[in-house]
Structure 1
Amino acid sequence: MYVTVVFLLFSFSFSHLTISSHLPDHYSKSIPTSLRQNISNEYIEITKPLSFNPRNPTCSLLIFQHDFANTIGSPPTTTLYSPPSDCPAPWAHIILEFRATCKGEQYDRIVGIWLDSVEILRTSTAEPTESGIFWKVRKDVTRYSSLFSKSNLTLTVMLENVVNEIYTGIYHVNVSVFYYGVTDVTNQFVLTELTVNELNQHEKFAIDIYTEKENKKVSFEDEEKFSIDIYKGKENKKVSFEDEEKPADLIIPISSNGDDGCWFRIQNETDVHSKEIEIPVNTYKAVLEIYMSFHGNDEFWYSNPPNSYIEMNNLTTSRGNGAFREVFVMIDGVFVGFVLPFPVIFTGGINPLFWEPVVSIGAFDLPSYDLDLSPFLGLVLDGKSHIFGIGVTESIPFWLVDANLHLWLDSASPIVMAKSVVYRSSALSVKQKSKSKNLDGSFEIKAERKIEYSGWVSSSIGNLTTHISQEFNFKNLIKFKKYGQFKEVEQMIRVKTEVKVESDTGDVLTQKTMKSKYPLRVLTSTQPGVENDTYLQTTNVSHAFNEESSLALPSGKFLSSVSNSQVSGGWMLVQDHSVLSGTASTNNQTLVYKDEAGCYSRNVFASDGKLLEDGPTLACTPSL
């Protein structure tokens, strides 16, 4: 009888953990200050460098300043934007800079910034500490030049935050724009030793750290540690890219009315959001840029088990529907393209101790994705309105998605001719294998799709035909072991896109190929804690963002690649969704970026909130 009672209690403890904590989750940090000595105040994301030297802008403008306290359920904050009068357009480059500070206890929050309802930055906040943290995000927003050159546009910023007796962190946000005149920068940022020295100069700025009694201004050194390793031959040449195309003449937002932010909130697969727009009849090129982020029950969509597993074990979690997601785009109900997103992990995700002070890939600058819709111009250049819709396959609440339609207009002709001539779209293929017994099981999903379409546009530039092919291969495997206390997630996403433009004589003018690969692996082990309502979780995460692109022109072929990989591991003691203690490290993050201008590499190591190593790798060293 005694043995039976112990077994029942033990089973109850495991069952409780399985329901509430065996899936990757979202946490806040409640660790005492005494256990957080000498941690870094500045948080960073390791990203590839800008394509030009950003040190000397022609002019700059602070366009937004706000303190986001208890803003949950409130409309977004807005202000008017006009470009600076002392350095009017045109500009060679424009940089948007987002700076933030916070102290106390707080969850991470998603942030959207729109200019005239066009999204220009999707970011998320870092989770603060009691002593306070700060960070910045710099993004090249030159592609939105047609908007930045206009006056009296509405700038919208959405950051829903909760402030109460428990969650005390207030996000203090500044947004600035840096403008670079045509004569102030070169077309391409050639990585030289001089550039490295310039970038390593210290840039000082002051940040307000708010204490309970008074506002104290503290000066921090913003050390931009660009660890660049360059191989140079006998001479250092500036590379001129013939395909460097001017930004779009017009950008039309496909977004919400802005009452809850300008993004669409997608709840399920049938919840397709759309906007009716009219395309100017002198449009000769169209590219749809899509922003997306995943939240709520779908924040960790790649780890969601099938509904059958949840129902069989009578689990209370709503995080199901399997682990495959695809963002799709439609025009007048016709499928025209897809995006398989990179699985960004926010700073409170899986184990928040992993992401201090080096946040996960994409957390500060979530990627947007481009779909070239030029072959479909023949369907929409009729002077009528057409419906552009966006949805997410197999989604559950909730996704935040919107899009920007970039249009290039023929200034020499009031109207162009266009026709869509080829459209081949294979049906989405999804194959699933499931095997489970009680709380243990394995669930495999394989999915693929391929689409091809072509269309010509006759304008003053010429009669050009655009051929586009796009395909993806998706694999995901989830395993539960030891009564569901051990979980393994392994996923691989591969996407290939090819865009070829031909003249009316059949000559290939440009051919661009983009290959993306996003591997992800998460291992989690959960055990009951010593104290009631606590559990100990040990996790290892490895993921990477890899892209290769090639551009073939009559004058030659240009290659570029970026490889950004991150490996983290550690443990944490959790009560509800608060981390009480733990230790974690980003054992290795390596970024290598190569193009015709040179090679950039950076390797960092962080542990228990401190950046311990930051330097170049051997990836840019020439082979002998």
Structure 2
Amino acid sequence: MRRPKVMCVLASLVLAAGSVFGAGQAGAATVPDATSGPVDPPAEFGSDWHDPVTAAPPVTTPGTRSCQVTVARAQFRDFTPYKGGYAPPKECGDRWSKVVLRLEGKVAGRQYDRLGYLHIGGVEVLRTSTPQPSPDGITWSVEKDVTRYSDTLRREQPVEMLIGNVVNETYTGVIDVKATLTFYAAEGRTKPAATPDRVLTLDGESLTTPRNSERIVAEVYATGSGGGCEEYWYLSVPEEAPYSCKTPDGPYREVQIKVDGQLAGIAAPFPTVWTGGWSNPFLWYVIPGPRAFDVKPVQYDLTPFAGRLNDGRPHRVEVSVVGVPEGQTGWSTPVNVLVWQDEGSQVVTGALTRHDNGVPANSSAYTVGSQHRVDTRGGHRLTVSGHVNTSHGRVVTTVDRTLANTSVHRWTDGENDDALKGTWTDHETVTTDGRGPATAVRAHRTYTMDGTTTLGAGDRLRTVLALGDRADTATERGGKRVSWSRLDDAYEGDATYTANVPRDQRHAVGTSSERYRLRGTAGCYDRSLKTAQGTVTEDRLRC
């Protein structure tokens, strides 16, 4: 992904540094732990370093028998997609308690970070980015629970995968990947409660749902990428400010979904930092930023619109990103639609009964000075409610979502000093009232970024950056909490190298750390990693 002139004229320097980064469920490589004693890191980065690894937990799997299928195996040298076929495993039946996708990759030489996808039957099951390689080469892996796509996986399907790449005399890294699915057989014929009956894709912007749909959820893999300023949308400034990335309305972004032209859902995009991000690949050689290898989709509960969508006709479903100048590219927004059907009805009727669209707020104020400054405040609230008449009675679903973003961006002339501190919140409550006590699912998501890049004496470039991905979720039934979870994924990095010199003269040093904490009704997971100069110095489990 090509970088703009962010943090001074450093785009060419980043690639020449040859960065590595990992993420997702990066392989559980052999690393030091609390009992293995101290590790002495090298004085500076060399030509090789530890393979990518994250503190995120592995996908838990049941103890039932399993079957594995290879979905794709490809080497990406250009922008030609891999095309193949998929057939479900016969040995594990057609109902599974869990399905796990695993992507394994390797790359060596010199290469940019690249964005990729995997489609099965037209359904996007993975959106990912890649590490930038060391000269000696690295391997990495990503695991993802894809049980919710079981409807698609029960039939033979076409497969398409692409990690767009460029290989020539300068950019030598060929991206070699293998994708597999592991199916864990279910006990009995009952499907997991969270698994939808149908997984649909859009025909252009057209969607036709089964007429007995009683719950509908859209998921959008929204990514700002592909080079240009939208890869760094959080750093853009209004037109009057002297900065290399400008948009008329500043950095506020909001991912919206509309049904037949009516706003149906809003969400805050996650400020993903790819492997060459913030002009300093040495930050990401071992530990990636949150979500970089496993891009999580934004989800919208469209059940209040089910009565309209169930009329048997196609409906227009559009996704757009607020704040992107008209006609400008830079965002990808593929959509999957998950549908739960009423087995006792051929047709489920209903209606949208409430639609409260709050007044969006978006203000970016520029302050002139020796250190330029842009203060941004944005937000939006949307409440929608509707009912469906099911075989088990009328069910009313209300979705209330509130977004907010504040950020302070400071920089000097020439952008030699460039700093951003930002917070994004996305609070959502989905209430379902029908048969039995009312159920409320509350999710409070908070994303944070606090970083500074400085180009100082002797062309020493230093980046200090902290990223946070936090979420508090709870389910209440009849006013009483029945389950809860709290996620806190925190990354910190500090890396320095000499710009404008050959690779072997960069004398790069850097430390990074990640602590991933997940607590709740299901138990506790707490793992922390630390690195120095590409060496893992700590891998600690606390739960």
- Please give the range of the TM-score, normalised by the shorter of the 2 chains: 0.7 to 0.9
Instruction: Tell me, in whole angstroms, the C-alpha distance in 2 between the residues paired with 1:84 and 1:328.
Output: 38
- The one-character-per-residue Cα deviations of 1:458-482 (angstroms, maximum 9, x if unpaired) are 1113211011100011101101236
1:247 aligns with 2:247: no
Query: Does the CA-based 8 Å contact 1:476-1:492 persist in structure 2?
Result: yes
Instruction: Tell me, in whole angstroms, the C-alpha distance in 2 between the residues paired with 1:83 and 1:60.
Output: 9
Instruction: Tell me, in whole angstroms, the C-alpha distance in 1 between the residues paired with 2:174 and 2:62.
Output: 30
Structure 2 CA distance for partners of 1:415 and 1:348, relative to 1, 3 Å: same
- The one-character-per-residue Cα deviations of 1:247-291 (angstroms, maximum 9, x if unpaired) are 111111137xxxxxxxxxxxxxxxxxx511222211111001110
Please state whether the residue corresponding to 2:221 is helix, strand or coil.
strand
Match of residue 525 from structure 1:
454
Match of residue 387 from structure 2:
456
- The one-character-per-residue Cα deviations of 1:567-623 (angstroms, maximum 9, x if unpaired) are 101212233998962434344311111122211101110111111110024xx5xxx
What residue identity is the alignment partner of 2:353?
A: V
Alignment of 1:432-451 (within 5 A): 432-437=364-369, 440-451=371-382
Match of residue 33 from structure 2:
none
Match of residue 238 from structure 1:
none
Shift of residue 23 of structure 1?
A: 7.8
1:66 aligns with 2:74: yes
Instruction: Tell me, in whole angstroms, the C-alpha distance in 1 between the residues paired with 2:5 and 2:164.
Output: 28
Match of residue 409 from structure 2:
478
Match of residue 235 from structure 1:
none
Instruction: Tell me, in whole angstroms, the C-alpha distance in 2 between the residues paired with 1:344 and 1:580.
Output: 30
Alignment of 1:28-107 (within 5 A): 28-30=15-17, 36-37=45-46, 39-50=48-59, 52-53=60-61, 58-69=66-77, 71-72=78-79, 74=80, 76-107=81-112
- The one-character-per-residue Cα deviations of 1:201-241 (angstroms, maximum 9, x if unpaired) are xxxxxxxxxxxxxxxxxxxxxxxxxxxxxxxxxxxxxxxxx
Structure 2 CA distance for partners of 1:304 and 1:25, relative to 1, 3 Å: farther
1:410 aligns with 2:342: yes
Instruction: Tell me, in whole angstroms, the C-alpha distance in 1 between the residues paired with 2:534 and 2:451.
Output: 21
What residue identity is the alignment partner of 2:461?
A: Q
Query: Does the CA-based 8 Å contact 1:440-1:484 persist in structure 2?
Result: no
What residue identity is the alignment partner of 2:198?
A: L
Match of residue 237 from structure 2:
305
Please state whether the residue corresponding to 2:283 is helix, strand or coil.
helix
Match of residue 466 from structure 2:
542
1:160 aligns with 2:108: no
Instruction: Tell me, in whole angstroms, the C-alpha distance in 1 between the residues paired with 2:368 and 2:253.
Output: 22
Instruction: Tell me, in whole angstroms, the C-alpha distance in 1 between the residues paired with 2:110 and 2:307.
Output: 54
**Structure number, greater radius of gyration:** 1
Query: Does the CA-based 8 Å contact 1:468-1:498 persist in structure 2?
Result: yes
Which residues of structure 1 form unaligned runs of 5+? 1-17, 188-243, 256-273, 530-534
Match of residue 137 from structure 1:
142
Query: Does the CA-based 8 Å contact 2:104-2:142 persist in structure 1?
Result: yes
Shift of residue 441 of structure 1?
A: 1.3
Instruction: Tell me, in whole angstroms, the C-alpha distance in 1 between the residues paired with 2:197 and 2:502.
Output: 47
Which residues of structure 2 form unaligned runs of 5+? 20-41
TM-score (norm 2): 0.88
Query: Does the CA-based 8 Å contact 2:47-2:136 persist in structure 1?
Result: no
Structure 2 CA distance for partners of 1:577 and 1:546, relative to 1, 3 Å: farther
- The one-character-per-residue Cα deviations of 1:432-470 (angstroms, maximum 9, x if unpaired) are 221114x73110110111111111111113211011100
Instruction: Tell me, in whole angstroms, the C-alpha distance in 1 between the residues paired with 2:339 and 2:266.
Output: 19
Instruction: Tell me, in whole angstroms, the C-alpha distance in 2 between the residues paired with 1:603 and 1:569.
Output: 17
Shift of residue 528 of structure 1?
A: 6.4
Match of residue 123 from structure 1:
128
Instruction: Tell me, in whole angstroms, the C-alpha distance in 1 between the residues paired with 2:383 and 2:45.
Output: 54
- The one-character-per-residue Cα deviations of 1:135-166 (angstroms, maximum 9, x if unpaired) are 11000000001011112x11110111110011
Shift of residue 24 of structure 1?
A: 8.0
Please, which of 174, 179, 192 is the counterpart of residue 175 of structure 1? 179
Instruction: Tell me, in whole angstroms, the C-alpha distance in 1 between the residues paired with 2:487 and 2:350.
Output: 36
Alignment of 1:494-509 (within 5 A): 494-503=425-434, 508-509=437-438
Instruction: Tell me, in whole angstroms, the C-alpha distance in 2 between the residues paired with 1:337 and 1:327.
Output: 8
Q: How many positions carry a matched residue from both structures?
A: 508
Please state whether the residue corresponding to 2:456 is helix, strand or coil.
strand
Instruction: Tell me, in whole angstroms, the C-alpha distance in 1 between the residues paired with 2:135 and 2:99.
Output: 35
Match of residue 596 from structure 1:
521
Alignment of 1:193-204 (within 5 A): none
Please state whether the residue corresponding to 1:28 is helix, strand or coil.
helix
The alignment's C-alpha RMSD in Å is 2.7
TM-score (norm 1): 0.77
Instruction: Tell me, in whole angstroms, the C-alpha distance in 2 between the residues paired with 1:508 and 1:24.
Output: 58
Match of residue 256 from structure 2:
328
